[in-house]
């Protein structure tokens, strides 16, 4: 079934659980639809006026309907208790510890994704809406010592493979939605709220390119909530790297940062 659903390639540790649920639910849907559909087509032919000129007052007998409903209810309870509720709890209750995870802030705005790394000191610098400008979209306060080593990028999220990634999601203006389809991650960014979202990427961008045989493949950040006239082009990229490559990328960014100052 999974192959027929045409889902994007899965690239996070929890993607399998979500795909498994999608498969189970679609099996249930298929069985019900084929069952009902077969019955429906049969009665249309069997009980057409030509074949059955006199209708039966009593109609269908037996407990078939009741047993169908009971089976549907039981399957739904299993899906709910066995899969949906625990899988959701995994997403929103068991966050990785900040010390184990790569912690990143992502802030949406019309129409871009601002990515903010705390740098080697592990502390995010102070930000203020009064300092927001074209070359400082996050309003990072350069006088705060914690902000000196902070790295910011636009529409480019670099992350290491096989590490928990903890993203603090927020937005400057309207509601956006942070969608990473291959990671099976989607979370609305709501003004006034800081919403954590986490995942563990399992395949580097390079490995995924090889696996899919597509040299131009990239993980993308999609905006999934209408945010204005540029909603359709509010796209970012995710580069999943080995830890070594990620560390090198961070070091390069730091070098650039110091050169810039």
Partner 1 sequence: MDKAATIGAMAPGHAHEHEHEELGFWRTYVFSQDHKVIGIQYTITGLLFLLFGFTLMMIMRWQLAYPMRPIPFVGNWFGAANAPGGVMLPEFYNQLGAMHGTIMVFLGVVPLAVGGFGNFVMPLQIGAPDMAFPKLNMMSYWVYFIGGVAMLTGFVMPGGAAQSGWTSYPPLSDIATTGQTVWLIGMIFLITSSLLGSINFIVTIVQLRAKGLTFMRLPFFVWAQFVTSFLLLLAFPPLEAAGVLQLMDRLAGTSFFLPSGLVVSGRPLLVSGGGSPLLWQHLFWFLAHPEVYVLILPAMGIVAEVIANNTRKPLWGYRAMVYSVAFLGFMSFIVWAHHMFMTGMGTTMAAFFQTTTMIISIPSVVILTALLLSLWGASIRFTTPMLFALAFLPMFGIGGLTGLPLGLAPSDIHLHDTYYVIGHFHYVVAPGTIFALFAGVYYWFPKATGRKMNETLGAIHFWGSFICINFVFMPMFIQGLGGMNRRMYDGGAQYIHNAGLLKWNIVIGFGAWGLGLFQIPFIINFFSSIKGGKRVGDNPWDATTLEWSAPSPPGHGNFLTEPIVYRGPYEYSVPGADKDFTPQFEPDKEKPGQSGVGRGGQN
Q: For the segment 33-72, give every residue that binds partner 1 (CB under 8 A).
A: 33, 36-37, 39-40, 43-44, 47-49, 52-60, 64-65, 68-69, 72
- Please tell me whether residue 99 binds partner 1 under the rule CB under 8 A: no
Q: CB of 158: closest distance to partner 1 in angstroms? A: 18
- Please tell me whether residue 148 binds partner 1 under the rule CB under 8 A: no
Q: Which of 187, 195, 194 is nearest to 222 (CA)?
A: 187
| Contact in structure between 203 and 160 (CB atoms under 8 Å) | no
- Distances in Å between the Cα of 77 and the Cα atoms of 33, 71, 162, 176 are 19, 10, 33, 33
Considering only residues 93, 99, 215, 260, which one is a binding residue for partner 1 as defined by CB under 8 A?
93
Q: Mark the segment that binds partner 1 (CB under 8 A) among 126-134, 156-164, 202-210, 253-261.
A: 126-134
The residue (of 32 and 257) whose beta carbon lies closer to partner 1 is: 32
Interface of this chain with partner 1, residues 228 to 247, rule: CB under 8 A: 228-233, 235
- Please tell me whether residue 109 binds partner 1 under the rule CB under 8 A: yes
Q: CB of 92: closest distance to partner 1 in angstroms? A: 6
- Please tell me whether residue 130 binds partner 1 under the rule CB under 8 A: yes
- Please tell me whether residue 133 binds partner 1 under the rule CB under 8 A: yes
- Distances in Å between the Cα of 61 and the Cα atoms of 11, 34, 42, 44, 137 are 51, 21, 16, 18, 69
Q: Which of 150, 163, 146 is nearest to 107 (CA)?
A: 150
Q: Distance between CA atoms of 175 and 195, rounded to whole angstroms?
A: 12
Q: Which residues of 180-219 are buried (b: 16+ CB within 10 A; e: fewer)?
A: bbbbbbebbbbeeeeeebbbbbbbbbeebeeeeeeeebeb
The residue (of 93 and 99) whose beta carbon lies closer to partner 1 is: 93
- Please tell me whether residue 101 binds partner 1 under the rule CB under 8 A: no
The residue (of 96 and 137) whose beta carbon lies closer to partner 1 is: 137
Considering only residues 38, 74, 82, 89, which one is a binding residue for partner 1 as defined by CB under 8 A?
89
Q: Which of 60, 34, 66 is nearest to 47 (CA)?
A: 60
The residue (of 190 and 254) whose beta carbon lies closer to partner 1 is: 190
């Amino acid at each position: 079934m999974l192959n027929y659903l045409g889902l994007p390639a899965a690239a996070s540790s929890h993607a399998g659980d979500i795909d498994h649920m999608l498969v189970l639910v679609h099996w249930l849907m298929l069985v019900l639809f084929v069952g009902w559909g077969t019955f429906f087509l049969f009665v249309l032919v069997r009980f057409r006026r030509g074949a059955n000129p006199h209708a039966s007052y009593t109609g269908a007998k037996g407990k078939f309907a009741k047993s169908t409903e009971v089976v549907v209810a039981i399957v739904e309870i299993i899906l709910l208790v066995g899969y949906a509720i625990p899988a959701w709890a995994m997403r929103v209750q068991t966050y990785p510890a900040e010390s184990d995870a790569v912690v990143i802030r992502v802030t949406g705005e019309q129409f871009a994704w601002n990515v903010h790394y705390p740098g080697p000191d592990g502390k995010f610098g102070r930000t203020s809406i009064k300092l927001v400008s074209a070359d400082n979209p996050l309003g990072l306060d350069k006088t705060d010592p914690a902000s000196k080593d902070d790295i910011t990028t636009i529409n480019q999220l670099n992350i290491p493979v096989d590490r928990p990634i903890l993203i603090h999601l927020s937005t400057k203006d309207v509601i956006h939605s942070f969608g990473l389809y291959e990671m099976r991650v989607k979370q609305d960014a709501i003004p006034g709220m800081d919403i954590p979202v986490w995942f563990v990427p399992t395949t580097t961008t390079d490995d995924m390119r090889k696996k899919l045989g597509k040299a131009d493949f990239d993980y993308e950040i999609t905006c999934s909530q209408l945010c204005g006239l540029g909603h359709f082009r509010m796209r970012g990229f995710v580069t999943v790297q080995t830890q070594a490559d990620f560390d090198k990328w961070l070091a390069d960014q730091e070098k650039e940062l110091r050169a810039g100052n």
